[in-house]
Amino acid sequence: MPTQMPLPLIADLGAVLIGESAALLENETLGGKVFLNGQLCWVWDAGQDDLRRLAAVQLVRAGAARVNEVAAGFGVTPESLRRWRVALTG
């Protein structure tokens, strides 16, 4: 199954591309959005760090990008992303 690249306009808006099919558009005041294959998949408001972490973990779980790619896109270490995954699984 071929992957579809994120919509070209998303990079023009300042989004961070993650892997081949995801993009993160984030603002400290407004929150963030993750697009997968050009479709809006996860949204959170500023201060909703738990939802931001969930979005990062879900990108890895969905196979949309590797741990290192997601960590770099979200500005954290791969170890932080692994800890988030462990915390979310109970």
Let me know: does 69 contact 19? Beta carbons within 8 Å.
yes
**Residue 34 falls in which region: left (phi positive, over 0), alpha (psi -120 to 50) or beta:** beta
Residue 17 CA to residue 65 CA, distance in Å, equals 10
pLDDT in tens, 23-37: 999 998 999 999 998
Per-residue pLDDT at 14: 83
What per-residue confidence (pLDDT) applies to 11? 63
pLDDT at position 70: 98
Paired tokens of 22: 């995801």
pTM of the model: 0.85
Q: Write out residues in the chain with pLDDT < 70, as ranges.
A: 1-12
Where along the chain do its domains lie?
A: 8-89
**Alpha-carbon distances of 17 from 38, 68, 86, rounded to whole Å:** 11, 13, 25
Would you state the pLDDT for residue 89? 86
Q: With contact defined as beta carbons under 8 Å apart, do 50 and 63 qualify?
A: no
pLDDT for residue 6 = 47
